[in-house]
Each structure stands twice: as structure tokens, then as C-alpha cells.
Structure 1
Amino acid sequence: MLRVKNPVLPGFHADPSILRVGNEYYIANSTFEWYPGVEIHRSRDMVTWEKVASPLSEKRLLDMDGALASCGIWAPCLSWSDGLFYLIYTNVRSWNAGAWKDTPNYLTTASSIEGPWSDPVYLNSSGFDPSLFHDDDGRKWLVNMEWDWRKTGSHQFSGILLQEYSTEQKALVGPIQKIYPGSEIGMVEGPHLYKKNGWYYIFAAEGGTSYEHAMSVGRSRCLTGPYEFHPHNPLLSSYGHPEIRLQKSGHASWCDTPDGRSYLAFLCGRPLPGTLDCVLGRETSIVELEWRDDWPYLKPAPGEELFPSGAVRNWPADSFEPPVVLDEYRKKGEFPPATKSIEYRFDGSAIHPDFKNLRTERDPEVYSLTSRPGFLSLRGGQSPVSHWGQSLLARRQTDFSFSAETKLEFAPTSFQHLAGLCWRYDETNQYLCALTFDENLGRVLKVLTFVDRQFMHYDPVPVPGDGPVWLGLTVQVDSGRFRYSPDGKTWRILRPVLSAAVLSDEFGGMGFTGAFTGMFCIDTLDYTARAYFESFKYTVL
């Protein structure tokens, strides 16, 4: 029996919404302040996942100018009905300013997952994590958590709301009903509604999104409730099991296979060994469900029991049996790794979909593949702490140990010109290796560190001449070092040693994304300097 090791989407892939259409499976994930918004993968077997769409790629669909770190796109819901994909999403405008949150929710549709996607329909702002349920009588219902600012001094999660959605009016209609208060775990969010064998099921995240995270289940014969709790809630949680590899498990969604098997996609975190620091962010894993008395349970791995020592097994297995094993895997006797090394070239007509930028639709004058063919040209943007106009292109860190390299051509003439390689979490926690200018030394390399808003820069390293420079980053689990080379062969290690933990969800307060590495260009003089990157290589170590 072949089993797939979790996570199936490593690195920052939070809040998975799983869907089956025909024989194909889709997962939509949160992207927060990263652009384009929402990321969708497709698979035939739940083993290999191909990135097929980032629907919110135009300003008409998503405007995040000025969004703070970990604002933006929270917990999308992808569904299918009437020959259309329905995508529901929240564009969070504020989240950590005390008792208040600003959480407008929207709906867009498309007949193909690749688009085009319709102009967004505004739904409501009463809370976040909206989800659309298509009942078998043709009616459609929106559920979302409610945020109650009056509950100052405690958690403002006050239950799950239900309201009908009219496709004719393109609006919510009818009364708003609170149908699910959540269990005693508290902080109920991330709701999804399903129907099976005459029962309505509500799956909801609880416990916050850290190590107490969980997912509870309720069921009812009536859509509006009352919902009875699962006799062994939570259905899923890693809490109380520090020995397992997949921590922080929760925020899940479910789909059935054509032959009736049930699978649960959920978020989880893998902390650095001996720590609670999740540098890779919240990732997507999958487990199979089994049904007993019309209640779902996590299917135990071979040799394990559902009720060990009388307690229900609700912590996730390290791997799962996929619904389909393609012949290519059966012959090899193994599945491919979830991540692989890759060298990105910039000699095509489009930037590889692995790369994300921050907050805004890409301006072709800022991100250009044509101003110098064969190169990615970045026009200098705002500072590394700006929420408005950074010029930065980065990809997820998907492995604890990796190497990143880029070849850069850049002719700075001011200390306000900087370009190079970054390793970052957000504006307050990031590391930069920058080629810049010094009035006495000419071109120099400087390492800049931002650690919980404390900024430092290190002694300049002269870079003679005006030719290309190779920049590198090597990360070994809990630490990293920048390096540079004048010829791509002989490398010099730069100080200091960089702590990976600084780029975790847990460092310096709560964050929701994960570590990225990539390329940037800064020009705080007049936004005209250009940096040219010939390639970017990501190598799994």
C-alpha cells in the first residue's frame, strides 16, 4: 500500500478549501498580503498538485494597497454549482487593532478555473471566513463567523451566521440567523456546510490558529439547526500531542471521491526541531475520513486504532492513502517529493506562478521581462518597510534547508539605490543582502536585518568593477547565511548568522503567512533605478 507523506502543499498554504469537480480535485488557499490573491492547485490523485490559478490578479478583483502584514486575503472558499466555480473571499483591512476588525466579503465566479473571473459581488462585513453552501434544492447559503466588537477583553468570536444568497439579485437576502455557537473550545471560525445522507454538517475551526487549534463538527436534520455536537469533538487537533510532526492542525474542509471515500484537507505547522517556531508557515495536509453512525472520524493509519486506550484518535496521521495510484507511481513503488529544486529563467513571456509580489497588481513598468530580454527587470520601489509600493518578487520557503541564488546586474549611484536577495516574513522581520553605493567605496554589498522592528546594517563589502554579481543564501534548518561571488564560482560568506526563528509565525507576535525568499529593488531617491536579474535558483538541501 502506497501512502503519501504530509504536507501535500508545503510552505505557506493556509486555510485549504478542497473541492472535487468530476475526477479532478482543487484546493484554494489564503494568500494574505501577497499578490495575486488566492492560490488554487489541481490534482487527479491528491498526490501531485499543479498550481493552476491565482484568480484575484486584477485591481478590480482585489485592492490591497496599504494593507498591513497578515491582512488581505483570509480563508477563501471554492465551490462548484450550475457549471460555475464560486470563489468567496475576505479582504481584511484591519485585524490587530484591538476589538475591531474590518472584513468585507466578496464573491466572484468563472466557468473555467483559469478564468476570466467576474466582477466581485460585495456580500457583507459581519465577520470573516465566508463559505458558500449549495443545497440540493438549488438554494445557496452563505455562512461566516461573526465578529462582536462589544466583547472587549475577551475573544470577539460570537458564532456562525447563515443567510441566503440570491443568484438573480446577486445579493444576500432574507434574515440572518446564528446557527452554530461553536463548542466549548471557543473562537469558532472557518465554517463549511455539507449535506450527506439527509444530515447537514457544519465543520468549523476553533481554538485560535496556534497550537490549540482544532476543528469541530456539528450536525442537524435542518439547515438552520439546532446542531448537535460530534460525540468526540474536536474531530481534528494536534493539541496535547507535542510528539507528532504535524502541529497546529485545524481549519479543515472535506470532499468525497467518485467512489464515496471522504478526505479532509487541513492546515498544520511543522516547528523547527526543539522549538515552537513554524518558519514554513501553515501548510496543507490531507487525511482520510471514515464514517460511523453518520459521524466522521479520522481514519487511523495502518496498525493504529481509532480509540487507543479508550480515547478517540483525533490527531492527524503523518501520511494518507490516496484515492488513486497512477501507474507511474505504482511502477516506482513511491510518490514524488512534494518539493523539488528549480532554476527560474526570465526568457519567457510570463513570470513563473511560484513568484508573488506584495499587495498590488503587477505594473509591467515595474516588473518587466521585455526591457532587457532574458532578464527580470525590477524598477526601484519604496523602502522594505513600506505597505504601499515595494518592488519585490519572492517565492515560498518550502523546505527547512535550502539554497537560493540569483545573478544580478545593477549600477547604483546613491546609497538610496539597493537591489539584491531577500529572506523575509514581513516588513518587521526580514533579511536583505543588498548591492548598493557608498560615497567612499563605490559599489558595496550590505546585509540589512529587521528583527521585531529593530534595524541593523553591517559593514560594507566592496564590489569592484561594474559587472554582474552572484548572490546566494544558504539555510540549514534554524540559521542562514548570505554569500556573494564575482564570478559564480568563488563564494564569500557574509556576516552575520541569521536566525530562521525570526521568520516564523510565532516571532514578535502573531502572524499568518510564512517565510519567502526572492529578489528586490529599492530606490528611495526617485523610483527610476533598475536592477536586472538573469535567473533565480531554489535548491533543496
Structure 2
Amino acid sequence: MPLIRNPILPGFNADPSIVRVGSDYYIATSTFEWYPGVQIHHSTDLANWELAVRPLSRRSQLDLRGEPDSCGVWAPCLTHDGDKFWLVYTDVKRKDGSFKDTHNYIVTAPRIEGPWSDPVYANSSGFDPSLFHDDDGRKWLVNMVQDHRARPRTFAGIALQEFDPAQGKLVGTRKVVFHGSELGLVEGPHLYKRNGWYYLLTAEGGTGYTHAATLARSRSIWGPYELHPQQHILTSKDHPFAALQRAGHADIVETADGKTYLVHLAGRPIGQKRRCVLGRETALQEAYWGEDDWLYVKNGPVPSLDVEVPGVRDEEAYWKEKRYEFHDGLHKDFQWLRTPEPERLFAIEDGKLVLTGRESIGSWFEQSLVARRQTHFSFDAETVIDFSPEDERQFAGLTLYYSRYNFFYLAVSAHSDGRREVQILRSEASWPNGKLEDVGANACYVRIPQQGRVKLAATIRGERLQFYYALVAEGGEEQEELQRIGPVLDASIVSDECGGHQAHGSFTGSFVGVACSDVNGTEKRAVFDYFVYRPAHDSTDRYSVSMEGIQRV
């Protein structure tokens, strides 16, 4: 079989859950505060994956307004019972500190495209719910449970309870059936049944560099569960130089011809500071069942960078430039933050994307920000904006964004005297005191004419970010070459490790896109002609900043 290189879902695609239905494979991943909720990718060969649907797309299913960074939709579990798809997920309202408000729901659909039902409430005792369909027809929900009294860790084990679909609720006894290994922080449970054994696969060690996937089994669904001889069937925690770090939170799938694979999250740190700007990504490992009825990862437990799969990956598609125009609406690559009412944030008018200025770029409620995932370590981004701000409280432009505490923003704004300018704003990981700051000296404030479109661009080469701007004439030709603005910036700041939370607390990844704020409350609008995302091959000059490739309008 051909080899492909991990990850199979590059960029922010965390907490994968996989299911096969016939010849089709589906992976569901977490979306946290990004809307719509849950990403489901589809493949027929395990090599090439396409975004199929984001099922939580209306207010009756999900409303994330007011939820802090890295809260929202956690660890969805996607299954099929032979009749329909089941999706279980957590909506996290609060996570920092001892108390965590974690509400678990279930939705169903006859087809992966939908229609997806309104949610059925399950419980709020913890997060990472998973639904298991036993061969006797009964359905069981497992999730980690919280104990806010525990110190220093509030993870109290994996609980099991039956779910009755006829009544639409959990019934019977709830019991903690597994407390995990000594590594601790047990979460992310999935149940399976094979050869009379119940297998419980969990995530442990937090989502940082001590992450792991732990397997246990029992003859009874209620336990007791014995640990795998290796305890952790997948982990990089003892191998700091492995290409795939932070490996854990896994799920198992069988192919039609009887092969076994494990999907899992992983991170690829760059630089001496080991920062994962692409967030937690989805990788794939081949596995096998031993004669002892235990599952083993091939060449594991350290995850392999390359894996054999049935299909051949289309590498050209991965490196292809994407020029997004808006004649047919907003492309599925884009998401926005928190709100089920996107019409208050943006619209498509005359083939252009129009953002209505709302709250600041750091808002947890309603901000006009439309962005796509960063999926390459090096890339170029560009857009053309038409925006006429009246003062410094109105700003719109190009952003490299992680969270309210962590972003870079090349914005068209105005001075207090009303004169228009291009400026760089940033908020770095000064949590909990994240604040909007200018970068450098006066070179980062460039006065421009009061009217006319402006081209905004950025080059990211690994850890190095450089912004550019140019004026655009009415006919569409640039009036001048792209000009550098500001110093070379540290792009690695926009990463999990600098996301503004405590250890194991930042869960998403870098996005690049456009934004518009009007903190005057007058709904000033910004018009964007297009958006370009252009991958750049890493090479010996990987960290050099080049003007090449961003000169076109």
C-alpha cells in the first residue's frame, strides 16, 4: 500500500472521532468557539479528506455567545448504529478554575449531510461524551466526570450510564467504571466490543507534551477494567524529538478488509520554543490485534510520521493556492466566532464580502471576524479592502488570530483627527491582562488617502511574519508596489503554547482572515473584494521573508 505523511487533517482539527459506514469514512473534530459547530470530514481511502458538513449550524442546536476562548464544542463522538448517525458533544460554558460548566447533548441524522436534529440533553457531569451501541441494541454513554473538590486535579474518572432513545434521556445507574492510570487527567473515552471483551480507550496526561492514549478492557461493561500491558498504546511523552508530539485522544476504525487504524490528535512544534502554531491536528496510525486480544499500534507506541493506507494522496491539492471570491457565497473553509446569527456579522453583496462592524476583535459575544484555518507553516495571505473609518474606534483588515489574548491585526483605521491610516495591532499572551498594543514605532502607523481601496498582505515563513500594504487605484491596478509595514514579527506566538491560558488550556489553532470592528456602535461596514491563501513550500530559506508571490491584485 502507498505511504502518506501525517497529519491527515492538517491545522486545527482536534479530538478526532472516526466511523466507517460501508466504503465511507467520516471524522468528526472539535470546533470550540468557532461556528458552525463540529467539523465532519469524509474519505473513501483514508488518504484524501474533504470537509463534508458542520452539523451544528442553527441557534436551536448551538449558541456560543459569551463563552470564553477554547470553550464551546469539545470532543464530538460520531457513530452509526446501522440506521442513522449519532453525534454526541459537549458545550463548555466555563472551563478555568475548579468549576466547569459542561453540558452534553446528542443529535442524529439519517445522512451525514443531514438534516441534523435539535439536541437531546444528556448530562452536565463532565465532558467528552461518547455513545456506544452494544450488540444487544442497548446504548451507553460514557464521559469523564468532574469533582471540583479534588486538588490539584478535578478529573474523577470515566462514568457509564445507559441512554434510552425512546425516552430521550439517560436511565438507570451511573457508575464510575475507570479511574485511569497513574498518568492522570483521564478523559476522551470510547467504548468498543470485540471477542467478548469491552474495550475502553481514553486520553490521559492533558493535551500537552505528556498526552497519551490509554487502553483498558473488561468482560463486563461495568468493569473492572484492566490496563493494557503497555498502559499507553500511543504517546510521544517519552520521546521529545519525535516528529509528532502531544499524541493522544484517539479512536479506532476497522476497514472493510479487516485492517485496523487509529486516528489521534497530535501537534507539530516549530522553533526552539516548540510552539504548535497549527494547533492540534488529526493523524492516523496503523494498528493490529495481538494474539492476546490487545490492540497495538504498528511500530508504536510512538506515532509514525508516515503510514500505509489504501489511497494515494493528492499532494497538488494540498499545495494549491486558494483564491476565495464571494459570488457564490462564503466558502466552506471559513468560519466565524460564537454566534448563530451570522447575518449580523457579514453579508455577500455584488460578489463581495461585507462585514458589519460590531464589537472589538477581543469580544466573546459578537465580533465580525471571518477566517480559515492556517494549514501550512509557511504561506501568504492577501485581501483588498474598502473602508472609510471616522476615528480610531473603527478598524478593519487582515488578521492572524488565535484568541482574544493572541492575534496580529493589519488594520485600516483613522487617527483621532479622522485621517485614515494603516496600522498594526496585536495582543500577545499577557494573560490575564491581554491588551491591544501597537507594534514598534511610528513606522507602524502609515497615513493614507481618505478614500480608495487598500491591499493588505502578509507573509508567514515559519516563525516569521511580515505585513505589507499598497494603495489600489479605482480601475483595479495598484498605485504602488507593496510596501513593508512594521518589523518582522514572531508568528509562533499565535499558538497553543501562547494562547492565553494555563497549561493544557488553549485548544484551537491559528486562523487567518478578515475582521471589522466599530466600537462606536455605528455599524461601519468594510467591503472585501477577495481573499487569497497561498501555501509556500518550506525549504532551506524557510524562515526568510520574501515579497515573491504577493504582488498580484
> By how many angstroms is 1:6 displaced?
0.1
Query: Offset of 1:124 from its aligned partner?
Result: 0.3
Q: Is 1:266 aligned to residue 264 of structure 2?
A: yes
CA contact (8 A) 2:398 2:515 kept: yes
How far the C-alpha of 1:496 sits from its partner, in A, is 3.0
2:195 maps to 197
- Maintained 8 Å contact 2:394/2:414: yes
1:514-534 CA deviation, whole Å, 9 max, x = no partner?
111100011111242111111
Q: Does 1:29 align with 2:29?
A: yes
| Count of aligned pairs between the two proteins | 517
Give the counterpart of 2:246 among 241, 245, 248.
248
Amino acid corresponding to residue 341 of structure 1 in structure 2: E
* 2:466 paired with 1:466: no
Confirm or deny: 8 A CA contact 1:10 1:338 kept in the other structure: no
Letter in 1 for 2:324: Y
- Once the two structures are superposed, the pairs formed by residues 297-316 of structure 1 within 5 Å of their partners are 297-300=296-299, 313-316=300-303
Superposed, which structure 2 residues align to 1:377-392 within 5 Å? Answer: 377-392=354-369
SS for the counterpart of 2:95 is: strand
Following superposition of structure 1 onto structure 2, how do residues 257-406 of structure 1 map, counting pairs within 5 Å?
257-292=255-290, 293-300=292-299, 313-322=300-309, 324-325=310-311, 336=316, 338=318, 340-348=320-328, 350-369=329-348, 372-406=349-383
**2: distance between equivalents of 1:482 and 1:39?**
30
With normalisation by structure 2, the TM-score equals: 0.91
Q: Does 1:100 align with 2:99?
A: yes
1:465 CA drift (Å): 4.7
Alignment check: 8 A CA contact 1:379 1:527 kept:
no
Query: Secondary structure of 2:492's match?
Result: helix
What secondary structure does 2:350 align onto?
Answer: coil
Taking the aligned partners of 2:90 and 2:418, their CA distance within structure 1 comes to 49
Contact 2:48 2:311 in 1 (8 A): no
Name the Cα RMSD after superposition.
1.4
Structure 2 residue 510 is matched with structure 1 residue 533: no
Partner of 2:462 in structure 1?
A: 477
Give TM-score scaled by structure 1 length. Answer: 0.93
Q: State the one-letter code of the partner of 2:44.
A: R
The ranges of structure 1 where at least 4 consecutive aligned residues each deviate by more than 4 angstroms after the TM superposition are: 334-339
Partners of 1:235 and 1:298 within 8 A in 2: yes
Cα shift at 1:228: 1.2
How many angstroms does 1:110 deviate by? 0.6
- 2:248 and 2:270 mapped to 1: Cα distance? 19
User: Which string of whole-angstrom CA distances, capped at 9 and with x for unpartnered residues, describes residues 97-144 of structure 1?
Assistant: x21111010001111111111110110001000000000110000000
Decide whether the 8 Å contact of 2:199 with 2:215 is kept in 1.
Answer: yes
Distance in 1, Cα, partners of 2:341 & 2:235: 39
1:337 shift after superposition: 5.9
> Is the Cα contact below 8 Å between 2:347 and 2:354 reproduced in 1?
yes
| 2:146 is the alignment partner of 1:147 | yes
Q: Determine what percentage of the aligned residue pairs are the same residue.
A: 46
3-state SS of 1:501 partner: helix
- 1:388 is paired with a residue whose SS is coil
- Residue 296 (structure 1) shift: 0.7
| Counterpart Cα distance in 1 of 2:185 and 2:520 | 46
Map of 1:499 onto structure 2: 490
1:82 CA drift (Å): 4.2
Aligned AA (2:326) = F
Q: Which amino acid aligns with 2:311?
A: V
> 2: CA distance between counterparts of 1:229 and 1:339?
42
- 1:431 & 1:316 partners in 2: Cα distance? 33
Q: CA deviation at 1:503?
A: 1.0
1:421 matched to 2:380 = no
- Distance in structure 2 (CA, Å) of the matches to 1:197 and 1:484: 63
Residue by residue, what CA displacement relative to the aligned partner does 1:455-482 show, whole Å, maximum 9, x if unpaired? 3125320112511111001111012011
* Equivalences for residues 155-166 of structure 1 within 5 A: 155-166=153-164
